[in-house]
Amino acid sequence: MASITLYLLLSAGLVSAQFYKIDTTDDTISAAKTLAYDLMTYYKGNESGQTPGILPGPPPAGEYYWWEGGALWGTMIDYWHLTGDDSYNDVITQAMLWQVGPNRNYMPPNVTASLGNDDQGFWGMSAMQAAEENFPDPPSDQPQWLSLAQAVWNTQADPDRHDATCGGGLRWQIPFANNGYDYKNSIANGIFFNLGARLARYTNNQTYADIAEQTWDWVVSIGFMDKDYNIFDGAHVQTNCTDINRAQFSYNNGVFLLGAAYMYNFTGDSKWEDRLNGLIDATFKVFFPNDTAYEIACEEHMTCTTDMLSFKGYVHRWMATMTQIAPFTADKVLPVLRKSAQAAVNQCTGGTNGRTCGFGWASGAFDGSVGAGQTMDVLAAVSSLLIDQSKTPVTSSSGGTSIGDPNAGIGSGSISDDLPPITTSDRAGAGVLTAVIVLTAAAAFGWMGTGK
C-alpha cells in the first residue's frame, strides 16, 4: 500500500525525484551537460536546408528573432568555458561566422531591414566573450572574434547612429522606417556601454572607456537610471525622452552591471565600485525576491514575450563574470546566484523525461512554459556556479589570442534608403517593446508607475 501511495504522489507531482543535482562540481557539470544537450535540440541551423546561426524564426516561421541566436552562442561559449566540454564548438563557430554579414559587423542583409542596435549588439557581445574566454580562433581567412566585436562597436559609434535628440544616445532601431526608430532605450545604450568597457580592458585603449563613460552619463542624465539604480526601459524622441516607460527588465541591469565591473577593473576608480554596489543592491531588490530570479514586469501573470523568457540567464551569466572582474562583489553575489540556481533546477521536473525546465523558478513547481529561452536560463544559472574554477577573462596582454582591427566596421554602419518594405514580422527585435507595446506602454505597465 505504501508503494502505491508513493507512486500516486509521484504521478501527481507532489513528490518528485530531483533530476538535476548541483551539490558538487561533478554534479554541476553533469547537470550542465544535460541542459546544454536539451537546449541544442531547439537549434536546427546545422540541419540540411536550415540557416546556420539562428533559432527557428522569425515569426511566423518560428518563435525566435535573430538576436536570440547571438544570445544562444554567448550562453554556449560560456558553457564550454566553464565545463570544458567542446562538443558544440564547431557548431558555435559555424553559427557565429555565418551571420557576420558582408561587412563583418553583424549586419547580414536578410535582417538589416528589421535591425535594432540591441540586436546587433548581442552578437557583438558574444564575439567579445569569445575573445575574452579564448574560445578557439576561427581560420585565418575568416573574421576574428575581437575584430567582430570592434566592428559592432565602431558601427554603433558612427555619427549616423547618434543624433541630438534627447541630448544624445542610440535609438532602439537602426532603419528610420522601423517602428521604434523614434525610441531610445536602455538596452541599446547599455550594450554599447558594455562593449566599450570590455574593449577598453582587452585592448588597453582609453578611447573605448571614455565613450563608455559618456554613455553611462547620458543614461543617468536622461533619467533611464535613477539615483537608486533602477533602470527603466526607454522613452520617445518626440518628447525629448521625458515620457519614460518605467518598466524594468532584468537584462538591462545585467548588461550595465557587467559593463560597470569592466570599468572598475580598467580604471580602478572607486566611483565604479560605488556604482556596482548600488546596481547590485537594486538588482537583488527588484529581480531576486527570496534570492530567486524573477522577471518582475511579466512573470506574475505570465505575460512574458519569447524575448523576456531568456533574460534570467543573461543576468546569471553576467553577474557571475562580474565577480571575477570585480572580485569585491563575490561574497555578496555568489551565494544569491547559488540559491537562485537551486530554485531553477528544483522546478525542472516536466516532460516525459522528468527533466524539462519551465520559467517560474520561485514556486518550485514546473509551470509548463518550455522553450529555448527557458532552458537557456537554467543552463546559464547552473554553469555559472563553476565560475570560481574558471579562468578570468583575458586581455591582449594576458594571454588573449584573438586578432583585432581597430578600424573594423568603420563606415559600414549606415543603412541605405532603398531597403525592402518592412513587414509585420520584421518589426521586432531584442528590445522588449514592439511597436504596439511602445505605443501603449503607459497602459501595459501602468502598475509600475509613470513619469520620471
Q: Model confidence over 167-191: pLDDT tens digits? A: 999 999 999 999 999 999 999 999 9
DSSP assignments along 205-220, one per residue: -HHHHHHHHHHHHHHH
pLDDT, residue 451, reads 33
Q: Which of 49, 41, 44, 18 is nearest to 31 (CA)?
A: 18
Q: Does 373 score more than 80 pLDDT?
A: yes
Please compute the mean of the pLDDT values over residues 288-305 and round it to a whole number.
97
**Annotation: CATH topology of 28-413+422-448:** Glycosyltransferase (1.50.10)
Q: Is the pTM of this model over 0.85?
A: yes
Max Cα-Cα span within the chain: 75
Residue 370 pLDDT greater than 90, yes or no: yes
What pLDDT does residue 112 have?
86
> In this predicted structure, which of 5-9, 71-75, 132-136, 189-193 has the lowest mean pLDDT?
5-9
More confident residue, 416 or 252: 252
Helix, strand, coil abundance in the chain, percent, nearest 5? 55, 5, 45
Judge whether residue 146 has pLDDT over 70.
yes
Helices 186-203, 206-222: axis angle to 10 degrees equals 160
Residue 57's CB is within 10 A of a number of other CB atoms, namely: 17
Give the whole-angstrom CA distance, residue 112 versus residue 434: 17
What pLDDT is recorded for position 334? 98
Model confidence at 158, in pLDDT bands (50, 70, 90)?
very high
pLDDT tens digits, 301-334: 999 999 999 999 999 999 999 999 999 999 999 9
pLDDT class of 449 with cuts at 50, 70, 90: very low
Would you place residue 412 in the very low, low, confident or very high pLDDT band (cuts 50, 70, 90)? confident
Q: How far is CA 267 from CA 156, 255, 261, 303, in A?
A: 23, 18, 10, 41
Higher pLDDT, 441 or 355: 355
The answer to whether residue 141 scores a pLDDT higher than 50 is yes
Are the C-beta atoms of 119 and 430 separated by less than 8 Å? Answer: yes
Average per-residue pLDDT for the chain:
90
Give per-residue burial for 75-90: e unless 16+ CB within 10 Å, then b: bbbbbbbbbebeebee
**Domain limits, the chain:** 28-413+422-448
Residue with the bigger pLDDT between 177 and 16: it is 177
* Local confidence band at 429 (pLDDT 50, 70, 90 cut-offs): low
Question: In this structure, is the dihedral angle defined by the CA atoms of residues 143, 316, 156 and 206, taken in order, positive or negative?
Answer: negative
| Whether residue 365 has pLDDT greater than 60 | yes
User: Band of the pLDDT at 430, cuts 50, 70, 90?
Assistant: low
Average pLDDT over residues 244-249: 98
Q: Are 71 and 310 in contact (CB under 8 A)?
A: yes
Q: pLDDT at residue 450 above 90?
A: no
Mean pLDDT of the region 214-243: 98
State pLDDT tens for residues 86-121: 999 999 999 999 999 999 999 999 998 889 999 999
Are 351 and 289 contacting, i.e. CB atoms less than 8 angstroms apart?
A: no
Confidence of residue 415 (pLDDT cuts 50, 70, 90): low
Report which of residues 427 and 199 the model is more confident about.
199
Q: Give the model's pLDDT for residue 55.
A: 98
Instruction: Give the pLDDT confidence score for residue 421 in this predicted structure.
Output: 42
6 Rama sector, left if φ>0, alpha if ψ -120 to 50, beta otherwise: alpha
Confidence band (pLDDT; 50, 70, 90) for 352? very high
| Range of weakest confidence among 309-323, 338-352, 374-388, 415-429 | 415-429
Residue 229, pLDDT > 60, answer: yes
- C-alpha closest to that of 149 among 169, 132, 171: 132
Beta strands 183-185 and 234-236 are antiparallel
Please give the pLDDT value at position 417. 36
